[in-house]
Structure 1
């Protein structure tokens, strides 16, 4: 029989042998896992001509906005519109009490009539005196004095005619009409309000179609875009085919064009203010609305593009996983350019001959064998214009 000491040595030997087998089994498992290919989806790197788009934050403004003020003073006695109404040019909006202006017009017309009678009488007297002078019945001084009286009466007639025109304008101005077509704001005055000529704003009306989208760009961006236009690099030219995206992500269906640029850079920001005009037949765009404005920019020939989902950010580096010639994973650092739709522009790190992994990246490590399924951008729903 074995002693207790001998039995302990026997158990120790058995455990050692069992441990060796366990290690061997684990090694085989690890080796099997390393040799098993990881299924991934990959796409070919795209090379094509693209045009970078410059995007800016913009705000919709009425192309024409008028603060309507009273031209004559008086109480508002009639209101023909309600706040928020759409009005046409020449449409009546308010009526101011015209009693005093009608009276002033009647008085001016009476004075004019009297002056015209006096002028007619003086003309008759001038002709009569001229006949008497021809007959040597009166002196030439008498005729000269009469002609002066006639000229004085002519001046009075002209003066009273001006008074009548002014009085008539005052009467006409008691009916306040819209100078432009558009929508009036809700902050209009009420009946009974006293309107002071030249200072009381009755209502503000803004044009609906077209409208402006105002935005700012830096000096360098402006110079680069102007250079494009002058060199005819693109067919569209600078400032055309401008598009906007509204705050809810909707792309406005009509394109616009940059029509105005400020005369200089803003002193506090060093940016240039520009305005792009957009047709607004359905009234979708209203003043004050925010929008992202996109302007076609610099064209790039033979640009290298990869899907944005293929790019991984590790600390301050950008990496893509390239499928090597023997179908193994090859992490490769790249230098990114601008984002264009669903893609990134690659400045350095890839060629048109490379294939990059777009799905299954979480399971991939360097030098792992890959079971690659090549897919097309259309199958992944990728777009350069999105």
Structure 2
């Protein structure tokens, strides 16, 4: 019996020792994290904006008269010259009106000639004292009235001729027809846009600016513009910033004028517009990097050598929709965890994910 107890105790000790060894050899919890380098403006949301290459002058083209489109003379993407016809309306009604105005003018001129001839006869009769001066004066008024009708008919004829000319839509300048909606059979109203002409000349980038970045964009002296297709970066300057936000996106349309030769830029190309690093002198971190505990703010900084994190208190100067302005606690160049800050603990070992 004593021997049995001794063996049991030996086995129990072996099991306990084995469990301790297994516990001691358990792998350390290494948590993968995303991070940002404090002071790296290019990594912050809102420091760059995606846009597209647009012409400096874009014109919405429309017929100046209503009617039914009977001919589409160019397609979207075609290059046109100033004065080149783009589309035509049915001219029948305008040609009939023109013929009517010509007939009215002919009738008015005929009446004027008759009134002038009568005035000549009246004056001859007045010289022989067959009629009174009052009758001559009345005839003079008749000539003046006939002349006024002729002037009116001529003006109406000129307007009718213009209406006939307006039935053909022409290009206002050399450029590219970026949109063409005037399809045959379409009935349009006067002034209804049916085409868009992107005029030749300088090119610029159209971007949308969020309200929290308006001040930074206004103060930026220049912008770095890179094209998705590649190539050397271009320099741009703010030319236009809308005063009202777009009702759908709630962002502010802006235009960045490009300097240098822009002949190789195609309309619609994708471009990235970045603010220069010197445009902001404040240290900013994403809101996801902040850890709030009992009313205080902290961030996790990463030690490059040991790949372990340390919790540091920070003082937040301001917060917007995307970022926090850090007044103290973090220096430029520190690596700060930006995701999963609530799952870390002091001196925890981490694995850096691609930024």
TM-score range for the pair, normalised by the shorter chain length: 0.5 to 0.7
Quick one: distance in 2 between partners of 1:171 and 1:257?
Answer: 43
State whether structure 2 residue 119 is matched by structure 1 residue 126. Answer: yes
1:274-305 superposed Cα distances (whole Å, 9 cap, x missing partner):
4114345334341xx6654333464539x9xx
Distance 1:314 1:117, change over 3 A: closer
Q: 1:109 aligns with which of 99, 102, 106?
A: 102
Q: 1:273 aligns with which of 234, 252, 262?
A: 252
State whether structure 2 residue 187 is matched by structure 1 residue 205. Answer: no
Distance 1:260 1:319, change over 3 A: closer
Tell me what 1:71 maps to.
Answer: 65
Question: Could you tell me whether the CA contact under 8 Å between 2:63 and 2:168 is conserved in 1?
Answer: no
Distance 1:277 1:98, change over 3 A: same
Give the aligned length: 289
Quick one: distance in 1 between partners of 2:76 and 2:242?
Answer: 33
Aligned to 1:300, the other structure's residue is in SS state coil
Question: Could you tell me whether the CA contact under 8 Å between 2:300 and 2:309 is conserved in 1?
Answer: no
Quick one: distance in 2 between partners of 1:330 and 1:97?
Answer: 78
Structure of higher CA gyration radius: 1
Shift of 1:146: 0.7
Quick one: distance in 2 between partners of 1:141 and 1:164?
Answer: 35
Question: Could you tell me whether the CA contact under 8 Å between 1:90 and 1:179 is conserved in 2?
Answer: yes
Tell me what 1:168 maps to.
Answer: 161
Q: Which runs of 5+ in 2 are unaligned?
A: 1-38, 284-288, 293-297, 317-324, 336-346, 348-355
Tell me what 2:179 maps to.
Answer: 185
1:346-382 superposed Cα distances (whole Å, 9 cap, x missing partner):
9656789x999xxxxxxxxx9xxxxxxxxxxxxxxxx
Q: What RMSD in Å do the two structures reach over aligned CA positions?
A: 5.6
Quick one: distance in 2 between partners of 1:241 and 1:272?
Answer: 20
Equivalence map 1:75-154=2 (5 Å):
76=70, 78-126=71-119, 128-130=121-123, 132-133=125-126, 136-154=129-147
Quick one: distance in 2 between partners of 1:206 and 1:187?
Answer: 12
Shift of 1:336: 11
State whether structure 2 residue 213 is matched by structure 1 residue 217. Answer: no
Tell me what 2:241 maps to.
Answer: 260
Tell me what 1:44 maps to.
Answer: none
State whether structure 2 residue 232 is matched by structure 1 residue 238. Answer: no
Quick one: distance in 2 between partners of 1:148 and 1:194?
Answer: 50
More displaced stretch, 271-280 vs 167-176: 271-280
Quick one: distance in 2 between partners of 1:188 and 1:101?
Answer: 19
Quick one: distance in 1 between partners of 2:334 and 2:149?
Answer: 96
Tell me what 1:300 maps to.
Answer: 281
